[in-house]
Chain A
């Protein structure tokens, strides 16, 4: 329903991202989508950028063996490295405006995997973790970052994942932004333990590989 009417052809999600800031959380979500759907993943380089590093060009993994037949897939995931100020997602250009911002794109993709918590309070908590991750953790000053780490630490004292018992988009976003900000080693105890549990899930290997 989220993708609209089925017109009997590949439904392609296009994501424009700047190679200077690879959207790690979206790569993680891509991996999760591949477990659920038959996804045709392709990476392109737009003419507005040149010299994109090879690890970015191959960041969605090797080409699917059936990629010559686009109609055999349920979902297209087309990542375009492009000179854009913000991550941008385009899906149905006639009925939907482009979605800007990594957090918003991540919300859209995650809804294809699992429904948001039906409890409004829980849903809002997930949303607020997302904003904290992308604004304060990824782009904030060291002081702001330290504040988020403290908040993470106390939240993770109450349960194994950020929104309680279930792994959610909040965990994906916070983990990726933490990885990108490079402050994993200085994190407090509960956060350290949570990082380990995240890594045990195996969802984050594409993001980690890109940072090496």
Chain B
């Protein structure tokens, strides 16, 4: 009974809290409206009344010849110039006859000052102070050098002396989360008694969360990964292809695919472009890659699984040995890592401020170990496992640590997996039928790529499919692709979100997915 009582009480308390919050919101809104009204009234007798206000909605009434300067370009070279810019009000702080604003544009910000004088009236300062956070404003200002560096801004050497300020888009007074709280490093908030924002709140209000410097840096870096991937492969003579995502049959078992209704029958969402990549190889495209969504209907709620993610897939024909494929893929990865190290240092530092991690280390050429070596290393570390057993996730992580200790690399390839733990289309090792020509690649001890030489012989493919007890009728068109001459080929697929997460040393793949999809999240 006591428990029930408590529950009832907590329910009541919750309701009370909710009501209070609503009240506060209404009050704030009222106040904001009131303040605005008062200003309009006062502004009728204000000498500076044309220098501020809420602009009419931009409906493309006029085409102004005004140049808007980017915040990141506000440097001491622009000192004493009159410029226009459009930015968000990050914070504002009024103190008597002056008001300080921090104006933000993406990951850059600058301090602006409005002081009562011959340019600004008292009413104008008050108006500026009442602009809600995150509103978008157009500002005309003089750039002035400052004597003391402004530590809190990205533009530390200058500030803006505002001459005109107009609100282009007004934000509601209450934000669902504060940007400063969202970028506070874990643990730091607790010490100072300040709030941090949990992951779900961030994701529920993704649009605001994406404005934080950390998010801005993460997704700029992610775009860099895609670009480096494309550029490197294009330079190697690869062709980008687009494959359908609605498919008639699951390529490997049907357990983890989404079913969609397709007119009078049903179809599946592709769990990898595997089939189509291979068909392109049989159609003489030689080297192909594909960047696109990939779907997994696995009901796993872990830090590294999503139900929809962006796959970076590679497939290529080779001459004599599948290591030609491994070399090609690892070189692509190394080019991506080098490109990020050399061109995205600002972004990496920004993310590191909130989520500290060791810089990503790698070797060139990439380290390649064989499965037996990995098993020997694990045995040496006291792990008991069979020679042909698959690596469990904890063993994968332990192996990653052992490799890091010995070779000091966060990226390596594990080659020659046991045949028994790989899909049916994996080519067996000619020297030892227990093993296969397949490989996994790891970043910071977590798997990012699974690949192999594929069987390009229809007869062997049928045999292997039978061995795996797969219904031949269902994969008939796949097997038939190899009947009319197919070159030896291999490939693999990487998850973009995972690569970004592990490169930056983040702990949750949702942080590197713009609008993550998992078994429990379909919105926003």
Contact = CB atoms under 8 A, between A and B. Distances in A.
- Chains A and B form a bound pair: yes
A51 to B, nearest CB: 12
A71 B362 CA distance: 23
B370 A90 contact: no
A92 B365 CA distance: 22
Nearest to A4: B380
Nearest to A5: B380
Interface stretch (A9-17, A147-155, A177-185): A9-17
B379 A7 contact: yes
Contact of A93 (B372, B375, B402): B402
A30 interface: no
A160 to B, nearest CB: 40
A35 interface: no
Interface of A: 7-10, 12, 14, 16, 44-48, 68-71, 78, 80, 82, 90, 92-95
B370 A70 contact: yes
Contacts of B483: none
Given A16-B408, A46-B363, A93-B402, A9 B337 contact: no
Nearest to B435: A71
Interface centre among A9, A10, A48, A70 (most CB of B within 10 A): A9
Contact of B406 (A8, A47, A93): A93
A165 B358 CA distance: 52
Given A46-B361, A93-B406, A71 B370 contact: yes
B376 interface: yes
A8 B402 contact: no
B363 A47 contact: yes
A45 B364 contact: yes
Interface string B375-395: 110011100000000000000
A48 B405 CA distance: 16
A141 B365 CA distance: 38
A95 B381 CA distance: 9
Nearest to A44: B363
B367 interface: yes
Given A10-B370, A12-B406, A71-B373, 16 more contacts: A7-B380, A8-B372, A9-B375, A44-B363, A44-B364, A44-B365, A44-B367, A45-B364, A46-B362, A46-B363, A46-B408, A47-B362, A70-B370, A70-B415, A71-B370, A94-B380
Contact of B380 (A48, A69, A92): A92
Contacts of A71: 370, 372-373
A70 B373 contact: yes
B344 interface: no
26 contacts: A7-B380, A9-B372, A12-B373, A16-B408, A44-B363, A44-B364, A44-B365, A45-B364, A46-B361, A46-B363, A46-B408, A47-B337, A47-B338, A47-B341, A47-B361, A69-B431, A70-B370, A70-B373, A71-B372, A71-B373, A80-B363, A92-B380, A93-B402, A93-B405, A93-B406, A94-B381
Instruction: Using C-beta atoms within 8 Å of the partner chain, give the interface range for chain B.
Output: 20 to 34
A77 B89 CA distance: 59
A82 B40 CA distance: 67
Interface in B261-287: none
B369 interface: yes
Contact of A48 (B361, B375, B415): B361
Contacts of A68: 321, 323
A132 to B, nearest CB: 31
Interface string B333-367: 00001100100000000000000000111111101
A69 B375 CA distance: 16
Considering the complex of A and B, which 10 residue pairs feature the smallest CB-CB distances, nearest first? A7-B376, A9-B376, A44-B363, A9-B373, A93-B405, A9-B372, A93-B406, A45-B364, A47-B362, A70-B370
Given A94-B380, A94-B381, A95-B380, A80 B407 contact: yes
A107 to B, nearest CB: 20
A94 B376 contact: no
Interface centre among A9, A47, A71 (most CB of B within 10 A): A47
A78 B370 CA distance: 15
Contacts of A90: 405-407
